[in-house]
Amino acid sequence: MYCIIGANGYLGRYCIKNILEHTSERILATARDVRELADTKRLSWKRCDIAREDEFDRLAAELRGYGKVKIIFLAAYHNPDLVAQNPYYAWNINVTLLSRCINKLGFADKLFYASTDSVYGNSVGGYHFKETDGLNPVNLYGRNKAAAEAIVRYSGFHVVRFPFLIGPSLVPGKPHFYDRIVEALTKGEPVEMFENSYRSSLHFDTAARLLIRLMESERQTPSVLNLCGDKDLSKYDIGLMMADMLNVPRELIRPVMIFENDGIFQTKRAVSTLMDNTLAKELLQLNRIDFTLCEGTEHEI
Ligand SMILES: NC(=O)c1ccc[n+]([C@@H]2O[C@H](COP(=O)([O-])OP(=O)(O)OC[C@H]3O[C@@H](n4cnc5c(N)ncnc54)[C@H](OP(=O)(O)O)[C@@H]3O)[C@@H](O)[C@H]2O)c1
C-alpha cells in the first residue's frame, strides 16, 4: 500500500502514474480538495489538509489499519517568492506541520520526503554537490527544506533531493511552466529562457519512476539521496529540446542571462545548482540517468 500526501500536484500525479504502471500496489492519495477526483480500482482519494489536525489524525488512523504502508510526502508551500512573502505561513506548513505529521507516522514501513537541490546553494565552477556536502541555501525556501530534511532524517525516514523538474502537467486546470512554453511555441511566439543557469534537471515522469523504483528496492537506501540527471542543463537547453520535439524553429527560444540578485525573481535564487547522482545510479543499478522529454523511456541498466 502506498500513501501519497499532497498527491494532486505535478510530481504527485506522476507518482500515481508510475505506481500504477510499475507495481501492483494500491494507493491512498490525499489532496485538500477531492471533489473532482475519482477513485479507481487501485486508487482512492482522501481529503487531507495537513494544517487540520483532525483530518490528518483520520488519515493516520486509516493508514495504521493497512499494515505495511509506504508514504511519499509531497505536501509543501514551495514557490520561493511566496515563501519569502509569507515566511511564517511557509515555515508553519513546511517545517512545523511537517514535524507534527512525521511524528504521527512512525509506524510507516517507509517514508520518502521530496526535497530539493535548493538546500545546497550555488555550484561554483560547475561543482556537483554530493549528499555529504554542507548545506548553504540562498533563500528561505531552501532553508525551510533543509530544516524539514533534518526532521525527516532524524525520525529515521528518507530524503530525496530532486533537481528542477519539468514536464506536462497531469493536473487538469493546473498548467506547468512546460505547458506554457508548449502553448507559446505552437502559436509561433518566442520564449525567453536562461542560458547561463544550470541544473541536473529531470522530467517529472523520470523523477517519479526512479523514486518508485527506489521505494520498491530491497537495498539499503541512505537517509539522503540526490535523484537527478547526468547532464548539466540550462532552461535554454531544455527550450531547444522542446522546439525540436514540436518541430518549430529553434530561434523561437531566446537566450537570456541571469545573475545573482539581478531582480528577475523577487527572491534570490542560486544561479546554478548541480548535483552528483553517483549514489543513486549505484543503488538503482543504472549506467545513466538521462533527461528526456519523452515519458516512459527506460534507462540503461
Ligand atoms: N517541481 C520541482 O521542480 C521540484 C523540485 C524539487 C522538489 N520538489 C518538491 O516536490 C514536492 C511536490 O512539488 P510539485 O512540483 O509537485 O508542486 P505542487 O504541484 O505545487 O505540489 C505540492 C502539493 O502540496 C500540497 N499542499 C500544499 N499545502 C498543503 C497543505 N496544507 N496540506 C496538504 N497538502 C498541501 C498541494 O495540494 P493541493 O493540490 O491541495 O493544493 C500540492 O498538491 C514539493 O515538496 C516540492 O518542494 C519539487
pLDDT digits (tens, 9 = 90+) for 289-300: 999 998 655 444
Cell of 225: 539521496
Please give the average pLDDT of every successive group of 10 residues along the chain, which has 301 residues.
Answer: 98 98 98 96 98 98 95 96 96 98 98 98 96 97 98 98 97 96 97 95 97 96 97 97 97 89 73 96 96 68 37
Residue 177 beta carbon below 6 angstroms from any ligand 1 atom: no
Q: What is the model's pLDDT at position 260?
A: 63
The total of other beta-carbon atoms located within 10 Å of residue 12's CB is 24
Residue nearest to atom 37 of ligand 1 (CA): 6
Do the beta carbons of residue 60 and residue 43 sit within 8 Å?
no
Residue 119 beta carbon below 6 angstroms from any ligand 1 atom: no
**For the CA of 97, the nearest atom of ligand 1:** 31
Q: How far is the CA of 141 from the centre of ligand 1 (A)?
A: 13
Q: How far is the CA of 192 from the centre of ligand 1 (A)?
A: 26
Q: What is the model's pLDDT at position 261?
A: 59
**For the CA of 166, the nearest atom of ligand 1:** 3
Residue 221 beta carbon below 6 angstroms from any ligand 1 atom: no
- 110 bridge partner residues: 70
% of the chain with per-residue pLDDT over 70: 96
DSSP 79-106: -HHHHHHSHHHHHIIIIIIHHHHHHT-T
* Alpha-carbon gap, residue 78 to 94, rounded angstroms: 8
Q: How far is the CA of 114 from the centre of ligand 1 (A)?
A: 9
Q: What is the model's pLDDT at position 24?
A: 97
Q: What is the model's pLDDT at position 297?
A: 53
Structural domains of the chain in order of their starting residue, each with its CATH number = 2-167+201-229+275-284 (3.40.50.720)
Residue 170 beta carbon below 6 angstroms from any ligand 1 atom: no
Which of 34, 22, 27 is CA-nearest to residue 208? 22
Q: How far is the CA of 250 from the centre of ligand 1 (A)?
A: 32
Q: What is the model's pLDDT at position 268?
A: 85
Which of 167, 234, 168, 243 is CA-nearest to residue 200? 234
Do the beta carbons of residue 75 and residue 50 sit within 8 Å?
yes
- pLDDT tens figures, 90-143: 999 999 999 999 999 999 999 999 999 999 999 999 999 999 999 999 999 999
Q: How far is the CA of 246 from the centre of ligand 1 (A)?
A: 28
Residue 213 beta carbon below 6 angstroms from any ligand 1 atom: no
Residue to mutate, 3, 11, 33, 238, ligand 1, most ligand atoms under 8 Å from C-beta: 11
Residue 93 beta carbon below 6 angstroms from any ligand 1 atom: yes
* Residue 295, CA distances (Å) to 10, 29, 292 in order: 14, 22, 7
Rg of the chain on CA atoms, in Å? 19
* Residue 159, CA distances (Å) to 35, 40, 74, 146, 214 in order: 31, 29, 11, 10, 12
- Residue 254: phi, psi to the nearest 5? -100, 120
Residue 31 beta carbon below 6 angstroms from any ligand 1 atom: yes
* Alpha-carbon gap, residue 273 to 264, rounded angstroms: 17
